[in-house]
Every structure is written in C-alpha cells, then in structure tokens.
Structure 1
Amino acid sequence: MPADAVRAGIPCMLMRGGTSKGAYFVATDLPVDRAARDDLLLRIMGSPDPRQIDGIGGAHPLTSKVAIVSVSDTDDADIDYLFLQIGVDEPVVGDAQTCGNLLAGIGPFAIERGLIPAVEPETTLRIRLLNTGDTATARVPTPDGAVDYDGDLAIDGVPGVGCAIDLSVTREAAVLPTGNAVDEIAGHRVTLIDNGMPVVLLDATEFGIEGGETPAELEEDEDLRAEVERVRLAAAPRMGVQDAGGQTVPKMFLLSPPAAGGDLRTRAFIPHRVHTSIGVLMAASVAAGARIPGTIAHALAAPPQGDVTVLEHPGGLFTARAEAMQDEAGIWRGASASERTARKLFDGRVFPRPRR
C-alpha cells in the first residue's frame, strides 16, 4: 500500500455482485493492521454519514460493502475472500458474516486482477470464505480467456440481463445452532438456522403484520423494529454471535405463506433496514429451514418441489437450491447452489478522505 494513500490512491474495482454493490480490493493493497485497515475503509466509503456523500458508499447497507481478495495459502482453495460490511451512519466495520451476493463477483475480480488464470470457455475457482470457514465453488464464463459479463440471465432486483455465474457453497457446521427446530426466545417462537448466513425465522403474524408490506412500511413501524431487534439481541448468543448490537448478524426474517406463486414469502431485516430483495446466503438459510420439519418456515411454506424453493421477496422471486439432510447422528447439515450475475462497474484508484 502506498505510504500516502490519500494522495496516491489505492487500486479498487467497483462491482455489482447479485443484488448488492461493493468495493473490491486485493489484500496486499490494504494495511495489514486491522484498525488501520478499518479506518481507511471508513474514509473510502464516506462513513459515518447517512448519505456517504464524501465517499463511494451508496447510502444503504446493500451498497456499503467491501470484498478483500487474495491468493489462498491452503491446498483446498484457490482464492480467499473476506467480506466487510461498512456501516453507513455509524463508524462500524463488521466481519461476523459473509455476503453471497458479492461472492458472485469474487471469481471475475480474481481473474481481472491476474490472481488466477482464465481457462476457456469457463474458469472454475474454489473460494475460501474467511468470515465463516465455508468453501464455495464458482464457475465464471471466460471465452477467449477473459471474463464475459454479457449473458441472458435475469435476476429479480437487477435490471437487464448478464452472465450466469454458478455458485455452490458447502457447509461443515450444523445448520441448526441449538439443535432445535423451534426455540422460544423473548416470548416468540423462532427458528435459528445457518446455512451460510445466520438468520432467525419468525412468523409474521406474531408481530402483527400480514407479510406483504413494503420495506418502507416496515421501516416506518418503530414498534415493530424495536421488537424485532429485541428478539435478535436475545437470539444472537445462541448462534455464537457476541455483542450483536455492534454486528449485522443474525438477520431477521418475517415469514408468511406464499402469495405470488412462490413457496414462501419473506421480509428480511438486515438487521435495521429491510432488504429490498434477499441475499444469496440468506435465501440458502431460509430455504434449508423450509425443508426441515417443525421449523417456522416449514409450517408456513408450500410443499417444496424437487431441490428448489422459490422465495418471494419485495423485489420479486428468488429460486433457491438448498439442501438440508440429517447425518447418521441426526444432525441437520446443509448445502446450497445458485446462479447470479455480476458486473464490473469501474476500475481505477480510489482516494480516501484525509481523516474522519
């Protein structure tokens, strides 16, 4: 990293991954010291400020994200991926979760930066998710030895079409952190589940809503937000999340029966704003929950067909391919697969503001 990053700038690629947008960096271009790195990223993104007017953040959690990428030092992966959620109006840099949407851009970014060679017509990468310890496999279209961002895949929440990037994630840990399909927490029946993203599944009717409200309507309901947060803080320690008040996990899902041709309707608090669609690994966790008898999701969902669970969200539909199976000890394990698109938006140098 340059001694004077403010004047010289830092190599940075702005990419859309799935329904999110973030700044992608090679690890060696950032400080090794965590405190120095976090301070630098806050200055780059323009936080804390609700508009992030003095940085490249997009004034929303879905567009205030960072991916840090490096060549992996393990034989089991080609690339390491660290995800950081940058607070918008608070000076917080969170690493307790990963991001399945930005994951869609990791393969293209690694190829663009020369961290891994492209192979015609498709390049396969094994990606270690440093936040969770899970491993993902990405297949990226690379005709003529370069990433091709054009394609015919459309995903709800993103205008137009793009190249199809196949993602699969295998998870070693049990998907039910407490071992229970249902727990009672803070006076509510909940399902705690983690198939790549720690989420809490809730019955929308217990919170006095119908389930089809818009994100704006839910965010305006201060009593609802406070109650959801009360449950989140009580549930977090049972999912291994400490100091949840300073973290963005677990995510909170209000669930209801399908109303638009899917298998289950979702509204996600992430955790203080409401998602305009649904994250890839959030969807994997919800879909796994819908396949485990006795969970909140299973009770509300239409019977799944095959290996696909169609989740309704504010922006449309998400087709989740998630598995939930019991091992010989009766422990539920999970895996997931998805198709997403990604696109390089800008490549160059970013200039952090001199101080916060």
Structure 2
Amino acid sequence: MVKATWMRGGTSKCWVFERSALEVPGFTVDEVLLRLFGSPDPRQIDGVGGGTSTTSKAVILSPSEQPGVDIDYTFAQVGIDQAVVDWGSNCGNCSAVIAPYALKHGWIDAEDGLATAHIRNTNTGQLLVERMVLDGTQSTAFIPGVPFPGQAVEIGFLDPAGGTTGALFPAGDRLSTLQVAGIGSHPGFEADATLIDAGAPMVIITAAQAGLDAADFSAWPALALADSDRLDRIRRAGAVEMGLASSAESAQRAIPKLAIVQAPAAGGDDDFSVMMLSMGAPHPALAITGSVGLTMAARQPGTSIANLLPTPPGEVLHMQTPAGQIQTWQRQIEGRTAVGTTRTARELAEAQLSFDPVALPGSPSTAVLAGEPLLDPDSAQLLDDPPAHKRRTVFASVAVFAALGLGATLVGGGLLNPPATTTDGDYAGETVEMVIPLAEGGGTDTWARFVGQELVHSIPGEPGFAPINEAGGEGITGSNRFASSAADDGTELLVSTATTVVPWVLDRHVVKYSFEDLEPVLVNGTGGVIYARTAAGVKTPKDLVDRKKPLVFGGISATGLDLTTLVAFDLLEADISATFGFEGRGPVNLALQRGEVDIDYTTTSSYQSAVEPIAKEGSATVLMSFGQLDGHGKIVRDPNFPEAPTVVEVYRDLHGKEPSGPKFEAYKTLLGLTYTYQKGLWAPKDAPDEAVNLLRDSAHELSGDKEFNDKAAEVLGGYPIVADENLSQRVKDAYTVTDETKGYVTALLKDSYGIELD
C-alpha cells in the first residue's frame, strides 16, 4: 500500500506523496506512479488518475536538507494513454498544496497567524515562497475556474528570470520581429513579439498580431482554434529566436507557450486581457508559470504588454482571462524579487493506494483469465462503465473529508445545506453543472462554456455555473456516465455535439445513452462547405463525376462528423476515395494545399481563415454548402454561404431530377443531427417539467437578446440558439433515425470504406 493525499491545488487536482512512500523495492518511481494512476489507459480505470491532464498529476514532497529551504518539491505529469511520466516542468497550480500539506504534517510552523514555507522545485531549480494567513481574515478565497472556496495560498517565485535559457529576454530585445515561415500557399510574414523567460519561456503577441483585435474577447478561444496553425507558426518561430529549437519544425509542442494580449476595455479595472495557448489549445484560465512572465513583461518598458498600458502597473496586476480576472504581484521578499499570485487549495481525501506490481504493463507475470482476450490501451476506452455514484453523493463524501482536513469550514456556508428546489420558478442557491464529454480547449468546450456562462444569468435566481469536462472515448464515456447517474432535478445538463451524436446513430455497442431518453433544453447549429483543390482538375461540381482518377478525400474518422460528407459524396455519385487518420481539419487543409489530398470540407467557424484565402487566390474551389434544414424539414441555403448551392441543388444539376430514396433520407437525417442541430444542452428525462421549461424559457429569452447575439456572433457563427415552444417536436423529428437509414449507413461504411461497426 502507498500512502497518499488527494488535494486540489488551484484549477488542478493532484495526488500528494511523500518521497519515501514511492520507494518500492524492485521498481522505479515511474513504474510505481504509472501503476497507481492506471496508465496507460485513456480512462485510467484501474488507478487513481482522472483521465485528463489536470487530474493526472503527482506532487512528491520531502523535508529539505538545503539551508534556507523547508521542502523539496518534485512535480510529475503522469501520462494517460502513454506509459510516460514527464518530469521536465513545474505545475504552478499544484504548487498551492505544498504549504497546507507541510503545515498539517509539522514540516513548518505558524507564527502570529501566518505560515510561511520555503520551497525548492527540483524539476527546474526554482525557489518558491508560500504564505497562508490563518487568523480567519484572509484564509479562504475563490479563484476563477473553481466554483468553491479553498485555503488561500500566496505563491511567490523568487528571482524567476532566465530559469530555462539563462536570460529574461533570450533574444536580447524586449520586442523582436519574428520571421514566420510560409507553408503551402500561405506566404511567410513578420510578427512582433516579446520573447521572455520567467516562470516558463513564452512568446507574447498582441491581439492585432494574432488577428483578434476586431473580435470580442469572449470569442477569442473559438477564433484561436480556427487559426491555430498560423498561431503555432508564430510560436515556433519564437522558439528558434529564443534558442529553444534549431528549427521551427523541431520546436517542442509545450515550450514556449504563446500568450495573446490586448489593451484593457474602457471602464474596467483590468490592466489588460490575455489568453494563453498551451499545447495548441486556449487555456481556460491561465497557467501560473505563464502568469509570472506576463507580470514581469508588463513592468519592462518596450514589451508587447507595456506598450499597451497607459501607465506603469502598480504592485498588483489585474489580468482578464477567459475564466475571469486573475491578480498577480511583484515585490521584494527577503531581499529578492518575487513574482506571484494567490491560488487556493483543499484536501479532498487521505488514502492508502493499492500497488499491484503483478499487473504492471508488460510484466511477464501478468495473469490472463482463461478465455479473456488481451486488451490494448486503445480498446480500453470501449469497455462498459459500471453505474457511477450520483454526483451529489460524491459531493457529500468529499465534504466529509473537507470537514476533517484543512481549508475553509463549509458547514456554515451553505454547501451542506439541503439544495434549493428547482420547481418553484427560481434557481437561487443552485449550481448548474454542465457535463462536457470532451477535452478542455476544443470547439465544443469553448461553445459550452460561453453558452453556459450567458445562460445562467438569464435563469431566475442566477444559479452558479460549473462546467465539468469528462473526456474519453470520443465523448462516449462522459455521455454514458451522464445517462446512468446525472442528477434528475434539472441542475445537471449534458452537452452534445456531432462527435457524440454519430456513434448513437450508428448503434455502437459502447453507447449506453440515447437522445430519446433526454429532454432538449436548447440546440444550436453550424454550417459548412465542401471545397476542392483546383490543381486536381476541379472547377465546378460537375468535375466530381465521371473522373479517370478518383479525388482523394482527407478524413479524420469515418464514424464522426466526416460521415455526413461521405453520405453526400455517395448521394452525388462522386468519384471519391478516402484516407483517414488526420488529427483535425487544419492538418487536412494543409495537406490539400500540399497536393496530398484533393477534396475536403470545413465548418463555418474555420472557413474564413482556412478556405476563403486559398479560394480567393484560385488554388481551391468552393463547390457547395451542406445547407440547412428549415422549420419544415426542407433543405435550404446556408445564410452564411448564400452564393453556394446546397448538396441538393448540386444533385439536381448533375442528375436532372430531385434526390430521393434511402441515400437522400440518410443525408437529411445527418444534416439535421450534425449541422442544423449540431450542439445541444440536454436534461435527464426524469427532470421536473417545471425545471426543464424554466431552462428552455430562459434560453429562448437569451436567444432574442441583442447584446447576447452581438457577443455570440463569432462563437455561434450567426446560427441562432433555438429553444422555442416547438423545440421538443423539432428535435424529436430531427433525432428520429429510421432502421433504413442506419442500415444504409452501415453498409456504406463497410462496402466503400472497409469499416465494420462494433
């Protein structure tokens, strides 16, 4: 057994170990951690990992023997679907647990209501000072991204400049002009950036350099995702200039990070707005190590940030992030420059973790039950989930640990009080939990967080909002959990998207949820176009048929959103072959520009950045839009692409008649599910009618709000929120999938693409 403590630090959760607890004879620390966390496995089902990067973290502590240092701290990012432990960086959020843990275990003492811990991070050599006020005046706090309070921990990074490269400004200048290489038909360009190394290496550019200066800040995550390839080229150019890579191609994915900044909005108390990208995705709040570099850059004249500020900042810096305002500071502590912020921490549980060396991956002594097949990690995500505990039961259990541990006392704060009713026309005192069955930072996550934050302000009583990512199994895992154990009082909603709808349509055996057993609260659509490489001999839709050589379609997965496009090709009788396995539409777009594939599609959100430029220069041709279903179920032109004929119009031109039959019915069905009603919010079937109707009425009121629609233009792409009185019937019609359609799609995948469904 391995003794461990489960704690939340900032916006992450981590298992805290004393170093000696991980010293298991005959095994490395890497092997012990991987086995304890249940890796490699996308769900980490046989371990304590949470299946996401923010919940697969280990903090390893020991009293320090170094003079002036209380605690040695090592951070480990435990791989999820790979048997890898990353020891190369620190986690600022998890750092918040150190002082509370050390105080509880007697490694530091409190004096006059103040506890101070001097910490050495062994990953980077960085020295930290943490302080906790314990007299009750400032002991608890809320932070953006966490719905509940915790013990306030002030974290200061001592002399953080140059920790990786040896210099605060590795390129020598406070503002560098980067030469960003072109790719495909996209030409190279110049970008001005501040290249700073403090806390972590970072490239800082303005919203104008990122092409986001004309957009509302709330739309930045969605727009950045759509333009992620261009932004990453800037980041990689910065890596070369900082000496972190010999070429843009060889730059690491995680280092340096990219931050986009903008001048403060008029009338607010923010010093500036910032969105950070990590591993190519917008960070929902802000990495603590990243905040250090931003804080120092703001105080250095001539940097990207300093040039935006009307006056030099004071000791406390106010940064607006997608999750809310974060405050940092820079001051002298014990005669040294310290940069820091305040995070919160809370102990969740103490545990004895079972270490089973027999079951270590690759161990020759691993036993296999007779008749049971060996499973590789990729197949593990397809196993059935056991019934999960009700979320309120879990909250109650966690609250017991909170009462026994350190941090804020919540008994008198209402958390343990009986929940307010949701059937009285008022959600006061409640929290709406939104289960997002996909990873943080993606398009669905951005949509859900934006819609959720706006919706709760329209619900009477203004409940709290708690987005919860339950990624895994292409969205199936979290959706299955919701179907089996969601609170049925209208406080827990499920986010759906094409990624989760299509597996349901295909009757995959791993899908345990059914949209026929859920109540729609609102739906929202998107659109898209099919385009082709002009050099492949495609100038009009007529060039899709009677070809000597089929056009090559670049796909991600035939059983995802690509399916609607495949059915469209089959309906049109287009001469198409396909290659699957691309990581996203961005890589397919680049492959098309390089001539590796011939035909592709894109959704509305990325059309302007990915397709419009190459269409204008003549290297690509927009052939058609998918169209939209109107209120009567008829396919009409997409309002965002009024000049583009729909798939139905192209069929009519190619074949001289109206489409009909199983192929056409399948296309209409998939068009409704994956485009017109692509995203939705759902309540359990047993939720009270009063609660569901209140949520719908609130969403319908929001859909008609001009201020909301102006703000939502970029995120929703001009497609309205639908939550009117006809919603239930409209969704019921759209989500009725006939056996004939299922049979046709199954046969198409098998006969044309060699894919047999499980």
Same fold by TM-score greater than 0.5: yes
Mapped partners of 1:292, 1:136: distance in 2: 22
- Deviation string 1:230-262 (CA, Å, 9 cap, x unpaired) is 343443365565697666332221222223541
Work out whether residues 225 and 281 of structure 2, in 8 Å CA contact, stay in contact via their aligned partners in 1: no
SS in 1 for 2:49: coil
User: In percent, how many aligned pairs have the same letter?
Assistant: 33
1:257 aligns with 2:263: yes
1:206 to 200, 206, 209: 209
The amino acid that maps onto 2:175 is: V
Give 3-state SS (helix, strand or coil) of 1:282's partner: helix
Contact 1:83 1:131 in 2 (8 A): yes
Match of residue 341, structure 1, among 315, 324, 344: 344
Measured in 2, the distance between the counterparts of 1:245 and 1:37 equals 28
Q: Name which of 118, 128, 143 aligns with 2:120.
A: 128
Do 1:215 and 1:275's aligned partners in 2 also have CA atoms closer than 8 Å? no
For residue 328 of structure 1, what is the aligned residue in structure 2? Answer: none
The aligned amino acid for 1:319 is: Q
Equivalent residue letter for 1:339: T
Note if 1:277 corresponds to 2:285.
Answer: yes
CA distance in 2 between counterparts of 1:105 and 1:81 reads 11
Return closer, same or farther for 1:91/1:265 CA change in 2, 3 Å cut-off.
farther
1:160–1:289 CA distance, 2 compared to 1 (3 A): same
| Rg (Cα) greater in structure | 2
Deviation at 1:286, TM superposition (A): 0.7
Amino acid at match of 1:158: V
For residue 350 of structure 1, what is the aligned residue in structure 2? Answer: 353
Query: Corresponding residue for 2:175?
Result: 182
Distance 1:16 1:215 in 2: 28
TM-superposed CA distance for 1:38, in Å, is 2.3
Q: Which segment drifts farther, 236-245 or 51-60?
A: 236-245
Matched AA of 1:197: A
Deviations 1:189-220 (A, max 9, x none): 22121222222212233233347245862574
Which stretch shows the higher mean deviation, 38-47 or 16-25? 38-47
Is the 1:45–1:52 Cα contact (8 Å) retained in structure 2? Answer: yes
2:41, 2:230 → 1: CA distance?
A: 26
Q: For residue 228 of structure 1, what is the aligned residue in structure 2? A: 231
Retained in 1: the 8 A contact 2:225–2:282?
A: no
Instruction: Report SS of the residue matched to 1:43.
Output: helix
Pair 1:141–1:220, CA change in 2 (3 A): same
Could you state the TM-score of these two structures normalised by the residue count of structure 1? 0.80
The CA deviation string for residues 100-128 of structure 1, in whole angstroms up to 9 with x for no partner, is 22111111122334444555633221111
1:297 shift after superposition:
1.7
- The SS at the match of 2:50 is coil
CA separation in 2, counterparts of 1:257 and 1:51? 41
The alignment of Structure 1 onto Structure 2 pairs a total of residues equal to 332
Is the alpha carbon distance of 1:53 and 1:247 closer, same or farther for their aligned partners in structure 2, counting shifts above 3 Å?
A: farther
Distance 1:122 1:350, change over 3 A: same
2:17 is equivalent to residue 25 of structure 1? yes
Equivalent residue in structure 2 for 1:94, among 51, 70, 86: 86
Change (3 A) 1:304 1:42: farther
Q: Distance in 1 between matches of 2:23 and 2:86?
A: 17
Aligned CA distance change for structure 1 residues 113 and 217 (closer, same or farther; 3 Å):
same
Q: Aligned pair 1:57/2:49, yes or no?
A: yes
Question: Do residues 156 (structure 1) and 182 (structure 2) align?
Answer: no
2:198 matched residue in structure 1: 195
Structure 2 residue matching 1:103: 3-state secondary structure: helix
Structure number with the higher helix fraction is 2
Cα distance change, pair 293–19 in 1 and its aligned pair in 2 (3 A): same
CA contact (8 A) 1:211 1:256 kept: no
Residue 171 in structure 1 maps to residue 179 in structure 2: no
**Cα distance in structure 1, aligned partners of 2:245 and 2:36:** 27
1:281/1:310 CA distance change after superposition, 3 Å = same
Task: Please list the CA deviations of residues 259-280 of structure 1 after superposition, one character each: whole Å capped at 9, or x if unmatched.
Answer: 3541111111122332211122
TM-score computed with the length of structure 2 as normaliser: 0.40
- The answer to whether the 8 Å contact 1:111/1:118 transfers is yes
Q: How much has 1:188 moved relative to structure 2?
A: 2.6
- Match of 2:14, SS state, is strand
> Equivalent residue for 1:327?
none
1:29-48 to 2 correspondences below 5 Å = 29-31=21-23, 36-48=28-40
The Cα RMSD (Å) is 3.2
| Mean Cα deviation higher: 278-287 or 107-116 | 107-116
Cα offset for 1:32? 8.6
- Which has a greater percent of strand? 1
Q: Which moved more, 1:273-282 or 1:244-253?
A: 244-253
Aligned partner of 1:28: which letter?
S
Q: Which residue matches 1:137?
A: 129
Following the alignment from structure 1 to structure 2, what is the Cα–Cα distance between the partners of residues 188 and 91? 38
- Take 2:46 and 2:260, find their aligned partners in 1: how far apart are those partners? 34
Aligned-residue offset at 1:321: 0.5
Which has the bigger relative contact order, CA under 8 A and spacing at least 6? 1
- 3-state DSSP of counterpart to 1:97: coil
Query: Which one-letter code corresponds to 1:181 in the other structure?
Result: R
2-side partners of 1:241 and 1:32: how far apart? 36
Within the candidate set 320, 323, 335, 2:328 is matched to 320
Q: Which residue of 2 aligns with 1:13?
A: 5
Distance in 1 (alpha carbons) for counterparts of 2:24 and 2:234:
36
- Structure 1 CA distance, aligned partners of 2:194 and 2:151? 35
More displaced stretch, 341-350 vs 241-250: 241-250
Q: Which runs of 5+ in 1 are unaligned?
A: 1-7, 325-332
Aligned to 2:294: 286
Instruction: Decide whether the 8 Å contact of 1:255 with 1:297 is kept in 2.
Output: yes
Within 2, Cα distance between the matches of 1:195 and 1:280? 11
Displacement of 1:151 in angstroms is 3.7
